[in-house]
């Protein structure tokens, strides 16, 4: 009886793993470029996007992007004027490094001056 239970458990585990691989991936988070107020680059792996409505989004790049902190970057928007996580690349100014955006995640909003 025990070998039958073990075989059944193994088959169930393989089916569950196969279903997980076939599960649809969530759509990437995209930011409308017209809603981006400004960006900050605290290091060569992170871009912080400050939105006009006060939201703050963080993007952790896929690896280090040499020169990002000091040289700034540009990106090519995709229709309809969006920048999407895990789908786009950025170009570092001056060094011409090409780096891939990671996923966007909500970041803590800065505390306004005088409200601590």
- Where are the chain's structural domains? 30-106
Q: For position 76, what pLDDT does the model report? A: 85
- Buried-exposed string 43-54: b where 16+ CB fall within 10 A, e elsewhere: ebbbbebbeeee
Token code pair at residue 69:
């902190």
Residue carrying structure tokens 């400050």: 50
Other Cβ atoms closer than 10 A to 26: 7
Cis? peptide before 80, omega within 30° of 0: yes
Q: For position 28, what pLDDT does the model report? A: 80
pLDDT tens string for the chain (116 positions)? 555 555 555 555 555 555 555 667 667 899 999 999 999 999 999 999 999 999 999 999 999 999 999 999 998 887 789 999 999 999 999 999 999 999 999 998 766 666 55
pTM of the model: 0.72
């Amino acid at each position: 009886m025990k070998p039958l239970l073990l075989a059944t458990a193994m088959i169930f585990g393989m089916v569950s793993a196969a279903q997980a691989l076939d599960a649809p991936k969530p759509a990437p988070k995209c930011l409308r470029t017209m809603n981006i107020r400004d960006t900050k680059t605290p290091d060569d792996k992170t871009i912080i996007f400050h939105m006009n409505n006060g939201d703050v989004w963080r993007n952790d790049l896929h690896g280090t992007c040499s020169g990002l902190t000091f040289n700034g970057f540009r990106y090519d928007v995709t229709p309809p004027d969006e920048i999407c996580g895990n789908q786009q690349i950025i170009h570092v100014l001056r060094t011409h490094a090409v780096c891939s955006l990671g996923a966007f995640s909500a970041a803590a909003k800065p505390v306004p001056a005088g409200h601590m």
